[in-house]
Structure 1
Amino acid sequence: MDDENSPLEGQHTGAADTEPRLDAERPVVAVVGRPNVGKSMLVNRIIGRRGAVVEDVAGVTRDRVAYDATWRGREFTLVDTGGWESEATGLAATVARQAEYAAASADVIVFVVDVTVGATDADSAVLRVLRDTNRPVVLAVNKVDGAPQDADAAELWSLGVGEPYPVSALHGRGSGDLLDAVVDALGQRAPRVDPAAQGDEGPRRIALLGRPNVGKSSLLNRLAGEDRVVVDPMAGTTRDAVDEEVQLGGRTWTFIDTAGIRRKFRNLQGADYYATMRSTAALNRAEVAVVLLDVSEPLAEGDIRVVEQVVESGRALVLACNKWDLLAGDEERRRYLEKEFDRQLGRVWWAPRVNISAHTGRHVDRIVTAAQQSLDGWDQRISTGRLNGWLKELVAAQPPPGRGGRVPKILFATQAGTRPPHFVLFTTGFLEDSYRRFLERRLREEFGFAGSPIRLSMRIREKRSGTSGKASKGSRRSERSTRRRR
């Protein structure tokens, strides 16, 4: 089958709007290979969207990143990995270890090589490790963009892992044959029942956000109890949004590790640009955002911008003060930190705060308690009767300020929605921003809504013009007079 003129998009379904669900019923396919052989581009080709960060340089992907995919009616989890080099050191060695973990836990391994380079000693070294996993290996020879390169691909029979499948991740050529081989290698397993189709929303989703190098990946590893994502002192190590299901507090949570959100988004290029885009997308599919702040340093403009982005998105919010262990005995820094919060983050005084250390594990379990508190506020609904009874007393004691000699009246209020809570005020005039902030604060004092933004909007009742009103009144008097005469 030749897919050159029939790319995979449209021939399969990938979960473009939901996070992948790793469980025992869904087989796992790991895509591994040396750096810059086109693994992430092949993953994007299979899932039918640009899910993985792709750039024409080596070492862009660093973590294990999972995606949902389907071929020939078989669902499986596709795991993209960083470049695997057997003799790597430093950060590259950590990336290679993540790829090795992915291969060891997979049901089928897709080993990708570059036809323009051919088999290298590094490829052979990786294959020796793959054989020790006792997993089926499907050989994908990438960058075969035309028939003249098919002969070069055939020479890779010499690697000793079976038939080489020539593909072009860029154009889609041959990718159908590759997926046929993958599904055949998976064997006949019972189809998975999707809990989402049965009305189960699944675990609550928590996005770990913050500027680069504040400890998001370290926190996820601490929560997961294993080295799930790459951690390195270099800022910007994470580039993909990584989902991990974690059992905490007697329930399952989906934590989403993200790349650091950088303030000067327009100036970003290449992998950093797409990594920041994916962090924003991860926030949009999360329910609550845990914003990590490095308390060993003064609050930066980037910290404030991340918090503002969460509030603007309408997601529930938790502030996690990381590296608290570094403040042991430093009372002066703690006092100054409180002043920073009051001055720079006073707008989100309603967000729960937890003091943690991802390095030592101090109080990291409190994150889920705070997240649940914020989600409760995010989901909260107030009955219309209770809301208007409270509002009537409040407005009587503190009416809105006048504008242009007229004092607007609040006629009625209702909660139009949740996630986040949205209140609509029916008024006779415009309410000043200061009074709306007053209403929001008193709403929180009375009803809670801890950890959740609140939306307040107005519906101003339009008054009838004096002329039309008089005409209407005169017309009614005329009708009554006519009826009396009759």
Structure 2
Amino acid sequence: MTQELPADFDLPEHDSERPAQPVLAVVGRPNVGKSTLVNRIIGRREAVVQDVPGVTRDRVAYDALWNGRRFTLVDTGGWTPDAKGMQASISAQAETAMATADAILLVVDGQVGATSVDEAVARTLRRSDRPVLLCATKVDDARGLGEIAALWRLGLGEPHPVSGLHGRGSGDLLDAVLEVLPESPRDDVDLEGGPRRVALVGKPNVGKSSLLNQLTGETRAVVDATAGTTTDPVDSLVEIDGEVWQLVDTAGLRRKVHQASGMEYYASLRTKGAIEAAEVTVLLLDASEPISEQDLRVATQVVESGRALVLAMNKWDLVDDDRRDAMKRELERALVRFPWVERVNISAKTGRSVRKLAPAMRTALENWDRRIPTGQLNQWLADIVAATPPPVRGGKQPKILYATQAQSRPPTFVLFTSGFLEASYRRFLERKLRETFELKGTPIQINVRVREKRKKS
């Protein structure tokens, strides 16, 4: 992917895109209004909200800004003690959020008051070494304030009444949040560490849940011949080829989000979020069927999100020789935009070659993380330009002055030039860059900055 950069574009002085921010974890039992409150704090409707418990089932991080200070807000699924089954997984996500947070916001339903679950959560939080704030939601007017005083008995200090829906009291709450949040995150918190995050995506009924179950050796996800069985991401820590990975099985992506409704709509949003939260995406295709526009749309979405990509051709046990020949021709046509994608032929049902996914994911991630030294990059560029200079445009031949890698994940390069570079020449440079440095499995971006000539005074 390439694009023009403004003339006043400045490269970052270091690798990180933004300074580290303190983290606030929002926790509480199911359906108390956490996601509504999160939307109010971040000022936009991003967290999925529905008037049934359990809509949020994984941790989602958002950037927040209040009074000139930035912090990261982590929305979690409902937290309950002694949880079992799926609820245990949700609770584990919330506990992880608390362990990696700099401060914790416990949310209770101001209309219901403190339940036995809230009291159990509060007992756990009182033992935490993190600052804890107490927030009572759904307090839409002064009539609800009378019940709030009873929340002092939770032992977490003053309860802050808030209406996530209308915004009442949210400013006072955020002022209190800034008082307990440190200026920078704790030194022992490593939000980037841990197992590499993998999203399993594809259209409905392509075999994503079957693959997850095959990798884990147990039934982690519901498998059914009916398309659309999975509506939420299912997080699983899976050991593949001696390494632990965090896999997220997602709902099948629909053709367009606006064509879905109800939980299908939320499933589409969650799948998008899973791709953006992942580091590498495994896109499953049904090898027994022709590649569809929907498959290519999903691949495009992954690439536009800047994530590493592995293509898993599933149901390979159902493919005969004729179908293999047809598949080869389809791939050549369909993947002309993504010739760099790692491909593995598997059968999620029988387990055939599923262990080959790990080496493909490692290769894709290594290249996604890759940084090319500036000296090496410019020596390569000088050789390429000497052999094949940029085409003349408007009677002048643009010069490429130098190049640098602005960032990784995905590798992003900036070319400083004296004039516009044709799109065909940019694609040529990308192809040569991949050939030389073997950047397989990852999208790359080549941005162009045209240097304006200084006017003589």
TM-score tier after normalising by the smaller chain length: 0.5 to 0.7
Change (3 A) 1:392 1:221: same
1:14 to 18, 22, 26: 26
- Whether 1:179 aligns to 2:149 is no
> Is residue 399 of structure 1 aligned with residue 389 of structure 2?
yes
Q: Deviations over 1:270-299 (max 9, x none)?
A: 111111011111111110011010111111
**Cα distance 1:383–1:103, how it changes in 2: closer, same or farther (>3 A)?**
closer
Number of equivalences: 345
Q: Which has the higher helix share?
A: 1
Q: Which runs of structure 2 are paired with 1:244-283 in the superposition (5 Å)? A: 244-283=236-275
Q: Deviations over 1:7-53 (max 9, x none)?
A: xxxxx8337xxxxxxxxxxxxx9x8xxxxxxxx63585799678677
Cα separation, partners in 2 of 1:400 and 1:105, compared to 1, 3 Å: closer
Deviation by residue 1:234-277 (Cα, 9 ceiling, x = unmatched): 11111111211112222211001111111222222111111101
Q: What secondary structure, in the 3-state scheme, does the structure 2 residue paired with 1:414 have?
A: strand
Match of 1:379 among 369, 377, 395: 369
Letter of the 1:176 partner, please give it: A
Report percent identity of matched pairs: 50
Measure, in 2, the Cα distance between the counterparts of 1:200 and 1:254: 13
Q: Which amino acid aligns with 2:378?
A: N
SS at match of 2:26: coil
1:412 and 1:323, CA in 2 relative to 1: closer, same or farther beyond 3 A? same
Indicate how the Cα distance of structure 1 residues 178 and 459 shifts in structure 2: closer, same or farther if over 3 A, else same: same
Query: Aligned equivalents of 2:335 and 2:276: distance in 1?
Result: 22
Q: Deviations over 1:346-375 (max 9, x none)?
A: 211111100111111111111111111000
| SS class of match (2:31) | helix
Partner SS, residue 348 of structure 1: coil
The residue identity in structure 1 corresponding to 2:342 is P
Query: Which stretch of structure 1 is more off in the superposition, 267-276 or 43-52?
Result: 43-52
Residues 358 and 191 of structure 1: is their aligned pair in 2 closer, same or farther, counting only changes over 3 Å? farther
Match of 2:414 in 1: 424
1:231 paired to 2:223 = yes
Counterpart pick for 2:288 among 296, 302, 327: 296
Contact 2:35–2:48 (CA<8 Å) still a contact in 1?
Answer: no
Out of 450, 453, 459, the position equivalent to 2:440 is 450
Q: What is the identity, as a one-letter code, of the residue corresponding to 1:270? A: G
Structure 1 unaligned regions, length at least 5:
1-11, 16-28, 32-39, 70-76, 82-98, 109-167, 473-486
Unaligned runs of 5+ in 2: 1-23, 40-45, 62-75, 93-106, 131-185
For residues 129-208 of structure 1, what are the structure 2 equivalents within 5 Å?
172-174=110-112, 176-183=114-121, 197=189, 201-208=193-200
Return the letter of the residue paired with 1:205: R
1:285 and 2:277 correspond: yes
Q: How big is the shift at 1:55?
A: 6.2
More contact order relative to length (CA 8 Å, sep ≥ 6): 2
Whether 2:354 is the aligned partner of 1:364: answer yes
* TM-score, length-scaled by structure 1: 0.63
Matched AA of 2:290 = P
> Which of 429, 441, 444 is matched with 1:439 structurally?
429
C-alpha spacing 1:457/1:308, structure 2 compared with 1 (3 Å) = same
Tell me how far apart the structure 2 counterparts of residues 425 and 177 of structure 1 sit (CA, whole Å). 60
The alpha-carbon distance between structure 1 residues 185 and 68, as it changes in their structure 2 partners (threshold 3 A), is farther
Specify whether residues 288 and 196 from structure 1 end up closer, same or farther in structure 2 by C-alpha distance, changes over 3 A only: farther
2:327 maps to 1:350: no
The one-letter amino acid of 2:205's match is N
| Aligned-residue CA RMSD (Å) | 3.6
Contact 1:207-1:290 within 8 A present in 2 as well? yes
- Within 2, Cα distance between the matches of 1:358 and 1:385? 45
Asked if structure 2 preserves the Cα contact closer than 8 Å seen for 1:44 and 1:52, the reply is no
Distance 2:84 2:368 in 1: 40
> What TM-score do the two structures reach when normalised by structure 2?
0.67
What amino acid is the match of 1:243? D
SS in structure 1 at match of 2:265: helix
Residues 293, 322 of structure 1: 8 Å contact kept? yes
Q: What amino acid is the match of 2:313?
A: C
- Measure the CA separation in 2 of the matches of 1:410 and 1:456: 13
Structure 1 residues 107 and 412, CA, compared in 2 at 3 Å: closer, same or farther? closer
What's the offset of the Cα at 1:105?
8.9
